[in-house]
């Protein structure tokens, strides 16, 4: 090393000052800090407010999820209604004079309470009418057996059934709240004096959760309510409007993890003809026939032709070739077509503005206790 050479220069052959690196690091940190400050700033130089995507997820999405769960998809445990169903029933009560009203008129009246489109209200009303419990219908309301849709809302009519008037409404004990625009009053919950949710069933997909409560038999629900009031144990199982045969071994009281199997009722019309007289819940004759034809194309079963004679009752004739065993064909229909389906129930309801996962037995107990309380009021 040269005696006149500075030792630092040997370490920095290009003659750079060792402090220059620290200055560059400090400058980089300053630049990054300024960029971060600009990123976090709620306003630009032009004065426009910036909302970051992270903020949208953190605040807006939570609000949206809560709204869908509480106000659209999941029924309340108190009366068994989703908000749109409750508002439809309230609107029908407003319009009720004993005569039929056009469904389009009811839908328009319901829009005073329900801040969504007319199509969603009409679909919800058709589903209520097809359950044949609260609404007395007139006209073509579709067919749950064939999957045919209802006629347009301007062509069909409805009024509240006698049963609905007796068990759903009582203005004296109904608690009210302002509608979405503050112009009218709507019920918080209707004073339903019957386990309506279990009788009708309910299904909805919200954000982060869903519900699937299966329908139950009207008479069996009443008998179970009486047993509860007598302090006796009871057990209830689903009962489907489409009929069929069900295996409820793993029903699990309608809680998460339960499962039931639903089968079509298949009989032998003659030695070469099978007849389906009841179908599994959640299917219709159209989708059932399509699944049979697809199984035939794949060689899973052998059939000659299918006749659909369904009207008020299901009647599907399946003609099989000579020499084919009817019993083996029935087994194949259950194995390879929609003649057998699996359903996973999930009991989720709204209580005190919170989702509650509860079994059907507990739903019936709470409904019965609430009915007693309403009668006392």
What Rg do the C-alpha atoms of the chain give, in angstroms?
Answer: 32
**Of 142, 136, 91, whose CA–CA distance to 118 is shortest?**
91
Contact 319, 303 (CB under 8 A): yes
Contact 94, 109 (CB under 8 A): yes
Q: Which of 67, 113, 155, 251 is catalytic?
A: 155
Which residues, 6 or more positions from 140, have their beta carbon under 8 angstroms from its beta carbon? 150, 151, 155, 156
- Taking the C-alpha atoms of residue 310 and residue 117, their distance in angstroms, rounded to an integer, is 34
Residue 288's H or E segment, with its range, is helix 285-297
**Of 283, 251, 290, whose CA–CA distance to 265 is shortest?**
283
Q: How many CB atoms lie within 10 A of CB 160?
A: 20
Q: Is 203 left (phi over 0), alpha (psi -120 to 50) or beta?
A: beta
155 in catalytic set: yes
Which residues, 6 or more positions from 362, have their beta carbon under 8 angstroms from its beta carbon? 253
- Taking the C-alpha atoms of residue 281 and residue 276, their distance in angstroms, rounded to an integer, is 14
Give pairs for 286-294: CB < 8 Å, separation 24+: 286/146, 286/147, 287/147, 287/338, 288/264, 288/316, 288/337, 288/338, 288/339, 289/316, 291/337, 291/338, 291/339, 292/318, 292/333, 292/337, 292/338, 292/339, 294/337
Chain position carrying tokens 């390879």: 336
Under DSSP, the state recorded for 60 is I
Catalogue the active-site residues.
Answer: 155
């Amino acid at each position: 090393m040269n005696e006149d050479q500075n030792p630092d220069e040997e370490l920095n052959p290009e003659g750079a000052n060792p402090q220059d690196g620290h200055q560059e690091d400090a400058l980089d940190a300053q630049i990054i800090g300024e960029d971060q400050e600009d990123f976090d700033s709620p306003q630009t130089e032009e004065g426009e407010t910036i909302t970051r995507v992270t903020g949208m997820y953190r605040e807006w999405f939570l609000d949206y999820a809560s709204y869908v769960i509480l106000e659209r998809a999941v029924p309340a445990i108190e009366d068994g209604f989703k908000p749109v169903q409750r508002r439809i029933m309230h609107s029908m009560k407003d319009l009720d004079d004993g005569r039929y009203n056009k469904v389009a008129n009811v839908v328009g009246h319901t829009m005073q309470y329900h801040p969504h489109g007319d199509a969603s209200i009409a679909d919800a009303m058709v589903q209520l009418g097809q359950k044949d419990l609260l609404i007395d219908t007139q006209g073509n309301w579709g067919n749950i057996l064939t999957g045919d849709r209802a006629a347009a809302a301007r062509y069909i009519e409805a009024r509240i059934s006698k049963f609905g008037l007796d068990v759903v409404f009582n203005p004296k004990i109904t608690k009210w709240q302002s509608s979405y625009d503050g112009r009218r009053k709507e019920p918080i919950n209707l004073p339903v004096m019957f386990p309506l949710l279990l009788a009708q069933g309910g299904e909805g997909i919200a954000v982060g959760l869903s519900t699937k409560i299966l329908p139950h038999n009207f008479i069996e629900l009443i008998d179970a309510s009486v047993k509860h009031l007598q302090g006796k144990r009871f057990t209830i199982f689903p009962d489907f409007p489409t009929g069929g045969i069900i295996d409820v071994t793993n029903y699990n009281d309608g809680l998460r993890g339960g499962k039931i199997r639903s089968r079509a009722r298949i009989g032998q019309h003659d030695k070469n003809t099978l007849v389906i007289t009841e179908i599994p819940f959640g299917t219709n004759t159209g989708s059932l026939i399509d699944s049979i034809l697809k199984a035939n194309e794949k060689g899973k079963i052998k059939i000659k032709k299918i006749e659909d004679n369904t009207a008020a009752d299901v009647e599907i004739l399946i003609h099989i070739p000579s020499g084919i065993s009817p019993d083996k064909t029935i087994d194949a229909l259950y194995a390879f077509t929609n003649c057998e389906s699996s359903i996973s129930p999930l009991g989720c309801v709204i209580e005190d503005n919170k989702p509650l996962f509860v079994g059907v037995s507990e739903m019936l107990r709470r409904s019965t206790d609430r009915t007693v309380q309403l009668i006392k009021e």
